[in-house]
Amino acid sequence: MPGDAIAGYRLDELAERFGLTLRGDPTQRVLGVGTLAEASSQQLAFMANTRYAAQLRGTRAAAVVLGADAAAQCPVPALIGADPYLAYARIAALFEHAPAAVPGIHASAVIEPGADVDATASIGAQCFVAATARIAAGAVLGPQCMVGPDCAVGAQTRLVARVTLALRVRLGQRVLVHPGAVLGGDGFGLAWAGDHWEKVPQLGGVRVGDDCEIGANTTIDRGALDDTVLEDDVRLDNQIQIAHNVHIGAHTALAGCAAVAGSARIGRHCLIGGSAGVLGHLEVCDRVTITAMTLVTHSIREPGEYSSGTPLQNNRDWRRNAVRLKQLDTLARRIAALEKGHPK
């Protein structure tokens, strides 16, 4: 009997389905997933990092997904694979009970006449869809979303709830957008007019590729002239700010609270740490990692890992050293003088 989320799955079935090597009772059944520390004897756990080796030895899980190097320490049945985290992710997906969205338009939604909403799309309670918007097949809008003028939502794309697409936003297929995200707001363009600011019209849009994910309360402004662009499979965590005309390459991921200023161009396969910043008009090449809270102040042309900032210290030590930071140029000159035999 093949498994399902209710009946659970046999270990041999999981091993075959996900290309894993089973060590232990093939008929053992798992009904869910859990952590090494908390999983019950009916749940599957995983270990992707050897720092959890102590937890592995004490686990009461039904089975553990792990790498070959750790299998010997596993006190329970093991599902062994080259990439245990990925295998775990795929197994866990079997147990995710996402409520099926019902095609159709909730009675409380406001759909302006002229809006092009596919019959297989699901428009939740209290959504607003503008006259010039398009919602493709299988798209799902959770409650309280807004799809504004000249916006398009691609097939199978899902706006979880209370997402705002303000103006000229085109989302690809299978995009996932979390609550509170605002896409297509005005870029921050100002021209100084001698005694006041004048607004620079923001005439571009936002273009998001397929399979992107956009976190809660993240903002992506539309471009001033050309579009702000996310290529395919870009992953944005929560509270990220993407300014106008930024371009982010495919498969790049940004952690929470990162910010990218106007017209910066970030390559493919980059990883940007939490609360990091990238200044405007810079270029970051492919395969660059930026550590958390780093400020990127110049373009990066070589793949690799980059950082700025200072180490954490207790406040007394930090204060003592921080005073010296303000003297650093002077200290360097004093070293040079000493080297010349002329101490000041």
Helix (H, G, I), strand (E, B) or coil at 315: helix
Q: Cβ 39 to a copy of itself, closest distance in Å?
A: 8
Token pair 């899980």: residue: 61
Judged by CB under 8 A, which of 66, 155, 164, 267 binds a copy of itself?
164
* Binding of residue 339 to a copy of itself (CB under 8 A): yes
In SS3 terms, 224-256 reads as CCCCEEECCCCEECCCCEECCCCEECCCCEECC
Largest pairwise CA distance in the chain: 87
**Are residues 52 and 59 in contact, defined by beta-carbon separation less than 8 angstroms?**
no
Nearest residue to 204 via CA among 223, 180, 232: 223
* Comparison of 68 and 331: residue with beta carbon closer to a copy of itself: 331
* Comparison of 27 and 99: residue with beta carbon closer to a copy of itself: 99
Give the separation between CA 164 and CA 258, rounded to whole angstroms.
20
DSSP 73: G
Give the separation between CA 164 and CA 246, rounded to whole angstroms.
19
Q: Cβ 280 to a copy of itself, closest distance in Å?
A: 9
* Binding of residue 9 to a copy of itself (CB under 8 A): no
Token pair, residue 219, equals 């903002």
* Comparison of 120 and 217: residue with beta carbon closer to a copy of itself: 217
* Binding of residue 229 to a copy of itself (CB under 8 A): no
Per-residue contact track with a copy of itself, 267 to 306, x per CB under 8 A? -------xx-x-x---------x-xxxxxxxx---x-xxx
* Comparison of 137 and 203: residue with beta carbon closer to a copy of itself: 203
Per-residue contact track with a copy of itself, 168 to 187, x per CB under 8 A? --------x-xxx-x--xx-
* Comparison of 58 and 99: residue with beta carbon closer to a copy of itself: 99
* Binding of residue 211 to a copy of itself (CB under 8 A): yes
Residue 146's DSSP bridge partners are 128, 164
Q: Cβ 63 to a copy of itself, closest distance in Å?
A: 15
Number of C-beta neighbours around residue 296 at 10 A? 21
Helix (H, G, I), strand (E, B) or coil at 198: strand
* Comparison of 13 and 221: residue with beta carbon closer to a copy of itself: 221
Give the separation between CA 283 and CA 61, rounded to whole angstroms.
47
**Are residues 317 and 280 in contact, defined by beta-carbon separation less than 8 angstroms?**
no
* Binding of residue 5 to a copy of itself (CB under 8 A): no
* Binding of residue 58 to a copy of itself (CB under 8 A): no
Q: Quick check: is 251 catalytic?
A: no
Q: Cβ 73 to a copy of itself, closest distance in Å?
A: 20
* Binding of residue 312 to a copy of itself (CB under 8 A): yes
Binding to a copy of itself in span 59-98, by CB under 8 A: 83, 85-86, 88-90, 92-93, 95-96
**Are residues 229 and 268 in contact, defined by beta-carbon separation less than 8 angstroms?**
no
* Binding of residue 158 to a copy of itself (CB under 8 A): no
* Binding of residue 128 to a copy of itself (CB under 8 A): yes
DSSP 311: -
Q: Which of 244, 247, 251, 342 is catalytic?
A: 244
* Binding of residue 160 to a copy of itself (CB under 8 A): yes
Q: Give the strand pairing for 197-199 and 190-192.
A: antiparallel
Give the residue numbers marked as catalytic.
Answer: 244
